[in-house]
Amino acid sequence: MGQVAWKGLFLSLFDYKTEKYVIAKNKKVGILYRVVQLSILAYLVGWVFIVKKGYQDTDTSLQSSVITKLKGVAFTNTSELGERLWDVADYVIPPQGENVFFVMTNLIVTPNQRQATCPEVSALSLSTLQSASIPDALCYQDQDCPAGEAVVAGNGVRTGRCLKDRDSIRGTCEILAWCPVEKRSKPKKPLLANAENFTVYIKNSVRFPKFKFSKVNVLATDNKSYLKSCRYSTEHPYCPIFVLGNIVRWAGSDFQEMALEGGVIGIQIEWNCDLDKAPSECNPHYSFSRLDNKFVEKTISSGYNFRFAKYYQDAEGVDYRTLIKAYGIRFDVMVNGKGAFFCDLVLLYLIKKSNFYRGKKYEEVKSSSRKSLSSPTLNGNQSPDQLGGL
């Protein structure tokens, strides 16, 4: 019995099986079958190919370069600086121009600082709420100012003395620092309010390496005066000259309000290019948004500012500096995009020169062990299926 079973199993290995189709003469089943077929076809043609352009190959590895250059001058007259003309070397940081740049619109100037001893908090500040900004500087006796320890959130190192007015109980620690210490009062109006009319030149070069396609957001023209007179708008998308006031307005903010305490603006450049079309159809699209937390709620961290100093020496060789707390607007230029082109499916099978593309894509390989065979030599015009037979 066992031998018969094993023999039957062995012989079944040589059986040949083929499919058998049964045609059901049922209109309901037939209609349902065709509806399913049409639904799948509509999805492939409508969604995959037309909407999502599934026949295209895409390149998201965008290579980009951004160069910025500002222009504009402003005149101010203050008690600290007197009459002064401000140009790009004064209010643009960093000066070399990159995809992130800062335009100073307001400042607090503390001139003629030198390293010496002075009170951490001025007498005027002690009598107002401003002293609360450096609570660690307050004292009632010398023991409250241990020598050699830095004042938390302050300007220098304690000397061990508590400085008080003659009739005051509370005082402030004496410190070794750049004296006099930084002023705390901020102008009620932006000092460089005229910065609203300044312009910035944003040159953006992009390249899709996969398709070896490059483009620039500057109009290709021999007219040298074009960049001196044009201003960006939806009617002039290839003019790279932007007015700062317009950028802030397009981001949904008021320039004069933002210039007082500073903020951050994002400039987004999108290059979504269908490279099946003419190169002139690949155009940059700009969008502008405010990136700091101003729109969330006004907090103690609102705005944007930082400090820097300019140093010099007097005739006796004593080092001095002018401390500047700069408020302003930081602009972040962000570039992204993708390029799309016909995929291999179209090149290899759906165009007249498909044989040529197949010959370039599939490399001819000849096996030395089969040179003696009488089969014809393969060439670039043969199909991938024929090549796969090697």
- Provide DSSP, 190-235: -TTGGGGG-EEEEEEEEEETTTTEEEESS---S-TTHHHH---BTT
Cα torsion through 64, 65, 66, 69, rounded to 10:
-160
Per the model's pLDDT, the better-predicted residue between 36 and 228 turns out to be: 228
- What pLDDT sits at residue 348? 47
- Alpha-carbon distance of 79 to 82, in angstroms, equals 5
Q: How is residue 74 written in tokens? A: 């402003």
User: Who's near 105: CB < 8 A, 6+ residues apart?
Assistant: 91, 190, 191, 192, 193, 195, 258, 259, 260, 262, 327, 328, 329
- Alpha-carbon distance of 311 to 307, in angstroms, equals 13
User: Who's near 113: CB < 8 A, 6+ residues apart?
Assistant: 178, 179, 180, 309, 320, 321, 322, 323
Lowest mean pLDDT among 160-174, 226-240, 358-372: 358-372
Mean predicted confidence (pLDDT) in 142-153: 92
Whether omega before 94 lies within 30 degrees of 0, making that bond cis, reads yes
Q: Is the pLDDT of residue 354 over 90?
A: no
Of the chain, the percentage scoring pLDDT greater than 70 comes to 71
Q: Which band of pLDDT confidence, cut at 50, 70 and 90, is reported for residue 210?
A: confident
State whether residue 32 is helix, strand or coil: helix
Mean predicted confidence (pLDDT) in 296-312: 79
- What pLDDT sits at residue 167? 78
- Alpha-carbon distance of 325 to 106, in angstroms, equals 8
Inter-residue contact 198 to 121 (CB < 8 Å): no
Q: Is the pLDDT of residue 58 over 80?
A: no
- What pLDDT sits at residue 103? 95
- What pLDDT sits at residue 29? 66
Q: Is the pLDDT of residue 28 over 80?
A: no
Q: Write down the number of H helices and E strands in the chain.
A: 10, 16
Integer distance in angstroms from the first to the last C-alpha of the chain? 47
> Average model confidence (pLDDT) for the chain?
79
- What pLDDT sits at residue 99? 87
Q: How is residue 225 written in tokens? A: 């005066």
Q: Which band of pLDDT confidence, cut at 50, 70 and 90, is reported for residue 339?
A: confident
Q: How is residue 138 written in tokens? A: 């307050």
Q: Is the pLDDT of residue 61 over 90?
A: no
pTM: 0.70
Of the chain, the percentage scoring pLDDT greater than 90 comes to 41
Per the model's pLDDT, the better-predicted residue between 167 and 101 turns out to be: 101
| Helix, strand, coil % in the chain, rounded to nearest 5 | 25, 35, 40
- What pLDDT sits at residue 362? 52
Per the model's pLDDT, the better-predicted residue between 302 and 63 turns out to be: 63
Q: How is residue 148 written in tokens? A: 């050699």
Question: Which segments of 72-121 are extended strands (E)?
Answer: 74-78, 82-86, 92-93, 100-119
Q: Is the pLDDT of residue 39 over 50?
A: yes
- What pLDDT sits at residue 375? 40
- What pLDDT sits at residue 323? 93
Inter-residue contact 105 to 76 (CB < 8 Å): no
User: Who's near 47: CB < 8 A, 6+ residues apart?
Assistant: none
Whether omega before 240 lies within 30 degrees of 0, making that bond cis, reads no
The CATH H-level superfamily of 59-111+188-340 is: atp-gated p2x4 ion channel domain (2.60.490.10)
Q: Which band of pLDDT confidence, cut at 50, 70 and 90, is reported for residue 32?
A: confident
Mean predicted confidence (pLDDT) in 58-83: 84
State whether residue 282 is helix, strand or coil: coil
Mean predicted confidence (pLDDT) in 278-302: 78
- What pLDDT sits at residue 57? 54
Mean predicted confidence (pLDDT) in 4-30: 68
Q: Is the pLDDT of residue 131 over 60?
A: no
- Alpha-carbon distance of 381 to 354, in angstroms, equals 9
- What pLDDT sits at residue 374? 42
Q: How is residue 143 written in tokens? A: 């023991």
Q: Is the pLDDT of residue 327 over 80?
A: yes
Lowest mean pLDDT among 23-32, 70-79, 229-238, 270-279: 23-32
- Alpha-carbon distance of 54 to 340, in angstroms, equals 10
Q: Which band of pLDDT confidence, cut at 50, 70 and 90, is reported for residue 142?
A: very high
